[in-house]
Amino acid sequence: MAEPTHHSPMAQFEIKPLADFHLHGIDLSFTNSALLMVVAVALITLFLTLATRKAATVPNRWQILAEMSYEFVANMVRENVGKDGMKYFPFMFSLFMFLLAANLLGMLPYSFTVTSHIIVTFAMALAIFLAVTAIGFIRHGAHFFALFLPKGTPLWMAPLMIFIEVFAYLARPISLSIRLAANMMAGHTMLKIITGFVIMLGFIGGWLPLAFLVVLNGFEIFVAVLQAYIFSVLVCVYLNDAVNMH
């Protein structure tokens, strides 16, 4: 596959090493992708530190934003997993905030969208899938296998239903990761293409594409927030299967 050129819409997704490091033939270089992950974690830490450092009965703007984020994720967990799921709230809050920060950072000019790479989203989805499966077996033991055979299924349909349920269950990390990566990549590619049109047409001929670009940027910010929410909600749904089963 040819390398993306500087002006290619796909060039923005190229992973570039910032500090080369190899260990026994394994490439452990610090890349622009790793840098943006560190920046995302640092910004979240800074935000929560500023919000909680001087907590008051009458909250300031930072505290209001932090409390809104807390309540938003807490309600999401309670609605989709129930009270028993609140023990996993710290993880869900960390997951949502990281995805939100990573998605929004990718909207900055000359930045990098970590969540546009399937290797990143799949690694996250696979780790979550394994953890949720482990939780299911720890809580329910062998009874967790009942998840793959819905109640009331006729005996003659059991083999087919088990096959469908197992296939759907194993496909979870794939669908979860592709959904996020594909949406982020498609949106940023479209932004790059429209930006190229605006530059080629100039100020006079490009005012209409420029107006569309402004609207598209607003829509992409909405998509960035929405995709962080959808990913988190689906993880809550998977947690509900492991905690409460169906």
Instruction: Read off the pTM.
Output: 0.88
- The pLDDT assigned to 174 comes to 95
Question: Rounded mean pLDDT of 35-63?
Answer: 86
- The pLDDT assigned to 95 comes to 95
> What would the pLDDT profile of 113-150 be if each residue is shown by its tens digit?
999 999 999 999 999 999 999 999 999 898 888 888 88
CB 40 within 8 A of CB 98: yes
- The pLDDT assigned to 146 comes to 87
Boundaries of every domain in the chain: 12-243
Which H, E and C letters describe 4-60, residue by residue? CCCCCCCHHHCCCEEECCEECCEECCEEHHHHHHHHHHHHHHHHHHHHHHCCCCCCC
- The pLDDT assigned to 6 comes to 55
Estimate to the nearest angstrom the gap between the alpha carbon of 153 and the chain centroid.
Answer: 35
Q: What's the pLDDT band for 100 if we cut at 50, 70, 90?
A: very high
* Closest by CA position to 42, among listed 130, 101, 95: 101
Residue 75 in this model has a pLDDT that exceeds 50: yes
Q: Which residue has the higher pLDDT, 210 or 16?
A: 16
CB 213 within 8 A of CB 199: no
> What would the pLDDT profile of 180-220 be if each residue is shown by its tens digit?
999 999 888 888 887 777 777 665 655 676 777 788 888 88
- The pLDDT assigned to 1 comes to 45
The single-letter DSSP state of residue 140 is: H
Sign of CA dihedral 139, 143, 144, 146: negative
Q: What's the pLDDT band for 153 if we cut at 50, 70, 90?
A: confident
Q: What's the pLDDT band for 3 if we cut at 50, 70, 90?
A: low
